[in-house]
Amino acid sequence: MKNIQTYIAKHKERFLQELFELLKMPSISADLAYQPQLLQTAEAVAKSLLNAGCENIQLLETKGNPVVYADKIINPELPTVLVYGHYDVQPADPLELWDTPPFEPTLKKTKLHPDGAIFARGACDDKGQMFMHIKAIEILIATEQLPCNVKFMIEGEEEVGSPSLAPFIEEHTELFENDVILISDTGMISNQQPSITTGLRGLSYVEVELTGPNRDLHSGFYGGAVANPINILSQMISKLHDENNHITIPGFYDHAYVLSKEERREMNKAPFVQKDYNKALNIEEEWGEKTYSTLERSTVRPSLDVNGIWGGYIGEGAKTVLPSKAYAKISMRLVSGQDPDEMTHLFTDYFTSLAPKSVTVKITPHHGGKAYRTPLEAIGYQAAYKAYSETFANKPIPQPSGGSIPIVSLFNEVFKSHTILMGFGLNSDAIHAPNEHYGLFNFYKGIETIPYFYKHFTEIHTNHEK
């Protein structure tokens, strides 16, 4: 393709400044107080799509935050790429752990990002990555090289499980018809070794509440004679894994996809050094389901984790109290074949059965989603492979990821097209955490690589049709 690098070199500074403007907006979807900022961000995204040369820009209403739509239809005979991304971000707390304020984007060099990285909430997840697509389209339109049609769906509720998106898609199926879905909202192995994300885990998330006595009690008068819901909750949680760190919920693994020997061998070829992994996390020893590698445990095997646990007295000093209630938030990462609603159900039955009569259990399900796998035979995968091969020295390798993007499996069901996950983040970019950042190399490399996806996808797709 012509002039891609030249165009980037010429407009580099502006691209960055434009992204900074988006990053300054605290579009936190988990907190209702930020509704005005979410709307403001949606409008800013719409405006940048307009400036890039897109058409039919709209803020489409949902039950929640609006979806930004834009397209550029050059010829209905040609294939259509649907770009999905999200403009909402995770809350920034704990604020005191940020070295620079989360909504004041700052450039800093790091060991893995010697050319500098943008530090801000949403820098990598997903504003920085989503914005690469807007810039890639700007380049394709400006240099008159857009080879096919493109549509954008940029939503504002991904970080809270995309609750409004399923009904929205059912309602607007025709508008979003496409031949392939392209998402940059995942990561790659390293800046030297690109990878294409070929899997996402599903998710089932529950909150549990245990109630013991009808009020907090003096732990001297009552301790030892009345069940303490925090003690009981800990015992119940400890029963969710067995001695092999296998999840004990009956039926949990029944339909879980099991990789073939060949698939296991392939995925374990990825460069991975257990010692470095442990060192980076400051742990003596890794943990996980017996007979699986760390890579497998964290991507293609289901997992169950307590994300938060609370109850009783957590203030300063010691208060002697036997609490009335105990709580925990528990997530289950799922693999292909495991239905989130069914897993929630199995969890509920089993967890309830673990409770002694001295407490009552209340379980509230939260958002969920199914797992997704991109087949390597998909022409979108092949197009992505060729795209990375043009812009990186090393060939990309397929890598399943352990994270979730809840809407992706539904895309596949509704549109019958595959999702291609061209993520350019690094695991060390601290998404969802203090000091989230995104490498300048990654930002510009993404902008450079995406146009080649359009080119190769259109070519392969057209050849297929013949």
Q: Which residues bind Mn ion (CB under 5 A)?
A: 125-126, 185
Residue among 294, 277, 295, 271 at smallest CA distance from 397: 271
Q: What strand order describes the sheet that includes 437-439?
A: 106-108, 117-119, 437-439
Asked if 303 and 407 count as a contact pair (C-beta separation under 8 A), the reply is no
Looking only at residues 191 through 230 of this chain, which bind ligand BES when binding is defined by CB under 6 A?
Answer: 200, 203
What Rg, from alpha-carbon coordinates, does the chain have? 24
Q: Are 164 and 63 in contact (CB under 8 A)?
A: yes
Interatomic CA distance for residues 138 and 52, integer angstroms: 4
Whether the bond between 94 and the residue before it is cis, its omega within 30 degrees of 0, is yes
Please state the closest distance from residue 113 (CB atom) to ligand BES, in A: 17
Residue 185 in contact with ligand BES, rule: CB under 6 A:
yes
The neighbour count for residue 114, using CB atoms within 10 Å, is: 12
- Shortest distance in whole angstroms from residue 131 CB to Mn ion: 13
Distance CA 105, CA 16 (A): 10
In the complex, least distance from residue 159 CB atom to Mn ion, rounded to whole angstroms: 5
Between β-strands 325-334 and 303-311, what pairing exists: parallel, antiparallel or unpaired?
antiparallel
Window 93-132: contact mask with ligand BES (x via CB under 6 A): --------------------------------xx------
**187 is an interface residue for ligand BES by CB under 6 A:** yes
Note whether 130 and 154 are within 8 A (CB): yes
Q: Are the C-beta atoms of residues 243 and 237 closer than 8 Å to each other?
A: no
10 Å Cβ neighbour count for 283?
A: 10
Give me the 446-465 binding string for ligand BES, x by CB under 6 A, dash otherwise: --------------------
- What residue 401 binds from ligand BES, Mn ion, none (CB within 5 to 8 A, per partner kind)? ligand BES
State in angstroms the smallest separation of the CB of 63 from ligand BES: 17
Q: Of 179 and 436, which has the nearer Cβ to Mn ion?
A: 436
- Chosen residue from 128, 161, 199, 229 binding ligand BES by CB under 6 A: 161
Closest distance to ligand BES from the beta carbon of 401 (Å): 4
As measured in angstroms, the least distance from the Cβ of 200 to ligand BES is 6
Candidates 183-191, 237-245, 259-267, 343-351 — which segment interacts with ligand BES by CB under 6 A?
183-191
Closest CB to ligand BES among 312 and 365?
Answer: 365
Kind plus residue range of the DSSP H or E element containing 307? strand 303-311
| CB of 164 closer than 8 Å to CB of 64 | yes
All residues at 6 or more sequence positions from 74 whose CB lies less than 8 Å from its CB, including other chains: 146, 148, 149
Nearest distance from residue 9's CB to ligand BES, in Å?
29
Taking the least distance from each CB to ligand BES, the nearer of 228 and 298 is 298
At closest approach, how far in Å is the CB of 234 from Mn ion? 29
Contacting ligand BES within 388-427 (CB under 6 A): 401, 403-406
Quote the least distance from Cβ 31 to ligand BES, whole Å: 14
Is the separation of the CB atoms in 191 and 442 below 8 Å? yes
Task: Return all residues near 421 (Cβ < 8 A) that are at least 6 apart.
Answer: 183, 184, 185, 186, 196, 197, 198, 200, 374, 401
Q: Specify whether the CB–CB gap between 415 and 181 falls below 8 A.
A: yes
Task: Indicate the residue whose CB is closest to ligand BES.
Answer: 403
- List the structure tokens of 355: 């409770």
Q: Does 159 bind ligand BES (CB under 6 A)?
A: yes
Task: Give the residue with the Cβ less far from ligand BES, 198 or 228.
Answer: 198
**Residue with smaller CB distance to ligand BES, 232 or 421:** 421
**Is 367 a residue that touches ligand BES (CB under 6 A)?**
yes
Q: Is 186 in the site for ligand BES (CB under 6 A)?
A: yes
Binding residues (CB under 6 A) for ligand BES: these are 125-126, 158-159, 161, 185-187, 200, 203, 367, 401, 403-406
